[in-house]
Structure 1
Amino acid sequence: MHSNISTKIICSTSYNPWHNLAFEEYLLEKVKENEMILYLWQNDNTIVVGRNQNPWKECKCKDFEGDGGKIARRLSGGGTVFHDIGNLNFTFVMDKKLYDLEKQLSVILKAVNNLGIDAEFSGRNDILAGERKFSGNAFYEKENSSYHHGTILVDADMDKLSKYLKVSKEKIASKGIESVRSRVVNLKTIKGDITIENLKDNIMSSFLEIYKGKSDIEYVEDQNFIKDLYEKYSSWKWKYGETPKFDINFVNRFTWGEIDLNLNLKDGMIDSIVIYSDAMNSIFIKDMECELLDSPFKMEFISEKLDNINCKVDEKNMIFEIKEWLKSKIG
């Protein structure tokens, strides 16, 4: 179908999450028509929150930063993850019409299979070996380009992962999770001879095989041309957001993720709004904030505004569920 796909492999030599995420967004802006880029990168001692998450609620920010950790926020939706150099991140950045989740995932699955591990994609966005997760995936799209990225736990420090991340009570209740640790696994635990290096080599070769590409690898380190993007990702405002004190807070966990709705009212109107969520559809959450801002705080108007959102089929179902929930709260 797209016989003339051009491929590119880029590896970051920086372990700084603000640089690596800035470079990822730069690629998303610069990717050409019919181009598929594989970008491999690692962050050291980092917590990355989803686009619409509240870091204060997701992790012990103060302790973590006090211990020299970096907090970062990505563009995509989904939940919070811990990265260290025992974890490898991959991003497929592409012309939007080349997006094919199954094909992209097959690159990762093939690489892991080549190393002697049987793995499968499952559930919302996880790759599992047996019943245990070693990779979480998330997605983001712009008008003409999109990316699919994920983590791969090879030899990550599980103690740090459970020390700094908080799992919400709602999540525990809805999933019956005993602990974060019991569900995740390092590939090295399954097969002792796996390293970041041999995994990287296998991902690159399976990428070239599946996309029939050429094998030049570009290495990038701190780049001056992404200075503005770097400043955005490293800024307090982007990482933490300017959170006012809210009058109203409603929280609910749906099958597709949690919604934590925060409103300030002025003269019966929604004067400010922040929605925190680990839902995968990060743009949809932002659209919802924009629609509800300056709306009267009455269910009929809120309902109408939510119906205005231009969205996909699965998001229409999400809107229906959100409206039903809010009706029970606002009446």
Structure 2
Amino acid sequence: MLYIFQNNIKISTICSDSIDPWYNLALEEYLLYNINDNEIILYLWQNENAVVIGRNQNAWKECKCKKLEDNGGKLARRLSGGGAVYHDLGNLNFTFIMDKNLYDLDKQLNVILQAVNRFGINAEFSGRNDLTVQGKKFSGNAFYFLDKACYHHGTILIDTDFNKLTDYLQVSKEKIKSKGIDSVKSRVVNLSTLSSDLTINGMKKSLLDSFKDIYGTNSDILNKNVDSNKLKQLYDKYSSWEWRFGESPKFDITFDKRFSWGDFQLNLSLKNSRIENVKIYSDAMNSQLIQDIAMNLKNCPFKVSDIINSINDIPHDETDESVIKDITVWLMEEFNTL
């Protein structure tokens, strides 16, 4: 594949020394909000014995939280959408953090695929967010966008303990059935089983080499300075109960559906025929869209026409059009049965 190098791209590579998921996610967010114009960062990091859930997921539904914590593990919640993942030191995480003008999914994915291919493994991009080998997943990817910056991150399973993965994650039968498999374990693969030469350190080096190959060795390489006070504030957020678990108020009505793009559970508290509180649990990839739906529905009259109009009024791009349509058509059907 031919890449045309843009002039004066600023590239940075950062490898975290921490294995604490709260620290690593805090650093990821810090870098996102402090990216320079025309800059892209490849950030590599590992977590020890952690479950990381998507921005809008229900922690207790996705993870056996008590069992995880009793075994010294940590639950973490990221900014991006998507589903829950298990991290241990047999897994390597990557994040591309960039000026939004540099976002190029094919280019980013090819950094990963080229790095994996160097070990003689023929990998490919599959489905909505997976990297696979022979139909088995070794990497799940997720995304988060701001007005001027964004990130794309994911896992690389190298020597992960699949027994712990299945012990801590609670995957719905509907989700497993939709994948055409009988268990989570049967769907994933460790890359070390496909190449005896592949190690965590070897993959790190391969990713860094691939990143420089694809983005150009003549690019400017920057040193990143981190404001320790701001990073501490972000760490406090990611480690807090409020961020990781959130409120679970009593709801008057719940609508629940699995779509081709993910799970969607709409929980509503009503007062005087208006929606007083809204909580949406979802593993949809666009985490901000889910937040916007919840915000628009608050104080909306509990009438299907008003609910549909509130959802349709949310600014969105073409990639989210089918999600909006699926939700509104489904809610109209649900209201007809009330």
Global fold match (TM > 0.5): yes
Q: 1:130 aligns with which of 134, 140, 160?
A: 134
**2:167 matched residue in structure 1:** 163
Compared CA separation, residues 71 and 273, structure 1 to 2 (3 A): same
Q: 2:323 aligns with which of 311, 318, 322?
A: 318
Q: What are the ranges of 5 or more consecutive residues in structure 2 without an aligned counterpart?
A: none
SS of residue paired to 2:315: coil
Q: Does residue 16 of structure 2 align to residue 12 of structure 1?
A: yes
Q: CA deviation at 1:278?
A: 0.5
Q: CA deviation at 1:218?
A: 6.3
Letter in 2 for 1:313: E
Cα distance in 1 between the residues matched to 2:180 and 2:109: 28
**2:144 matched residue in structure 1:** 140
Q: What are the ranges of 5 or more consecutive residues in structure 1 without an aligned counterpart?
A: none
CA contact 1:2–1:98 (8 Å) conserved in 2 = no
CA contact 1:14–1:221 (8 Å) conserved in 2 = no
Letter in 1 for 2:304: M
Cα distance in 1 between the residues matched to 2:229 and 2:116: 34
SS of residue paired to 2:265: strand
Q: CA deviation at 1:177?
A: 2.3
Cα distance in 2 between the residues matched to 1:299 and 1:326: 8
Q: 1:108 aligns with which of 102, 105, 112?
A: 112
CA contact 1:12–1:219 (8 Å) conserved in 2 = no
4+ runs of 1 displaced by more than 6 Å? 215-222
Q: CA deviation at 1:322?
A: 0.7
Cα distance in 2 between the residues matched to 1:313 and 1:222: 37
1:295-325 deviation per Cα after TM superposition (whole angstroms, max 9, x unaligned): 0111010011011100011312211111111
Q: Does residue 68 of structure 2 align to residue 67 of structure 1?
A: no
- Equivalenced residues, count: 331
Cα RMSD for the two superposed structures: 1.7
1:102-151 deviation per Cα after TM superposition (whole angstroms, max 9, x unaligned): 00111111111111111011111100111111000000010100000000
Compared CA separation, residues 98 and 74, structure 1 to 2 (3 A): same
Q: 2:239 aligns with which of 213, 224, 234?
A: 234
Q: Does residue 306 of structure 2 align to residue 296 of structure 1?
A: no
Cα distance in 1 between the residues matched to 2:6 and 2:221: 21
Q: 2:51 aligns with which of 47, 52, 55?
A: 47
CA contact 1:33–1:95 (8 Å) conserved in 2 = yes
**1:263 matched residue in structure 2:** 268
Compared CA separation, residues 2 and 321, structure 1 to 2 (3 A): same
Q: CA deviation at 1:219?
A: 9.5
Q: CA deviation at 1:169?
A: 2.4
Cα distance in 1 between the residues matched to 2:16 and 2:200: 14
Compared CA separation, residues 200 and 75, structure 1 to 2 (3 A): same
CA contact 1:11–1:40 (8 Å) conserved in 2 = yes
Cα distance in 2 between the residues matched to 1:110 and 1:174: 30
CA contact 1:13–1:219 (8 Å) conserved in 2 = no
Give the TM-score of the pair, scaled to structure 2: 0.94
Give the TM-score of the pair, scaled to structure 1: 0.96
